[in-house]
A and B are shown apart, each in its own frame.
Chain A
Amino acid sequence: MISVRVARVAIVLSIILLVIVLDMVRKRRLKEKYALIWLFTVASMTLLVVWQGLLLRLTALLGAIDPSSTLFLFGILFALAILLHLSVKVSEFSTRIRILAKEMAMLNARVAELSGPSCCAPGNAGAGPGKNEREEGRT
């Protein structure tokens, strides 16, 4: 058995996390799509704490001695799952940004071609947004 105190701490932390996540969704700082994995984490951790029988059986199954290590293990596993999920998303978005940047290059060239030599040619040094934020030396 985990002590009543450990169970209480775990439940309080879960509730805090739940409130933070829901509040961020409410304020539209976190999209529902990305909140789901967090809510699933909170729900699972709470389940493990509340349903002691399950926790004990899992602990025996894993060969762990202290049920609280089982809690830690699952906490870490969920954190890793979220990190992996984010890495996948970063890859996905970097691909999209790359494709958009290329399309922009094509469109800008087309616009410059259509509007004559004097107008709005992109790429002059200093022009355009974000020139200072660009990463250097990646060619």
Chain B
Amino acid sequence: MKENPRILVVIPAFNESANLGKVVAEVKRDAPGADVVVVDDGSTDATARVARAAGAVVLTHPFNLGMFEAVRTGFVYAHRHGYDITIQVDADGQHVPAEIGALVEPIVREGYDVVVGSRYLGKGGYRTPFVRKVGILFFAWVTSRMLGQRITDTTCGFRSYGRRAILLFATYDSTEFRDSVGLVIIGRAGLRIKEIPATVRERIGGTSTISALKALVYPFDFLLSLAAVLARKRLAVPGGDA
């Protein structure tokens, strides 16, 4: 990886006008070399306007496609514009843009392809409700077994991706990349994943987007996707320059 990589920060946003301006401003302040793209996932509020006013490039989905599809749109943009590294940051202000440097470091210095922020690797301060904690432990355990590498937090949306990962996400169209299964696909494609501690703040405004019904269906969706991924051939990723 070259010394001065071109970095793109991708912020998926669905009705996040309340916090988004602050988040974009903070990213621009703490990661001054990076470009910022906000993917407005069919918001009905002023999300796009707020993002544009804060100086981000805005990609607007005509309707809601889901959080990870918004991230993937950011990857397509990164791929077509030749970025070296893509950082994924949540729009609700839970992540700390000052930690972007730490997230980029393993890609630039150690040749990793994907760096995942984890709430459960030391840096404390984040309390997880019990039921969710059980789910997270389960997904982390399954994912760790599949990858043959310890992963403590598969659902955290604070991540960085190098060129090969950008290529993979931008060109292989699948809705299965989100969360845990995404990590398994990445690992099976031969990309190297590193987990580092990340601070996750308590949510400033708004509520979590996961409803009770979805929480109930989610594990089955996860297992089905995982089984499908394991039943397929591994993806081949061209070398890139990583």
Contacts and interface: CB of A to CB of B under 8 A. Distances in A.
Contacts of B52: 121
Contacts of A135: 63-64
A95 B61 CA distance: 14
A139 B43 CA distance: 10
A139 B44 contact: no
A121 B58 CA distance: 9
Contact of B61 (A102, A112, A131, A137): A102
Interface residues of B, number: 36
Contact of A99 (B12, B60, B77, B173): B173
Taking chain A's interface residues, is the majority helix, strand, or loop, or is none over half, making it mixed? loop
B76 A139 contact: no
Interface string B43-68: 11111110010000111111111110
B160 interface: no
Contact of B60 (A98, A108, A130): A108
A134 B64 contact: yes
Contacts of A102: 61, 65, 69, 72-73, 76
A109 B51 CA distance: 13
Interface string B140-176: 0000000000000000000000000000000001010
B63 A139 contact: no
A124 B49 contact: yes
B117 interface: no
Interface of B: 12, 14, 39-49, 52, 57-67, 69-70, 72-73, 76-77, 80, 173, 175, 209, 211
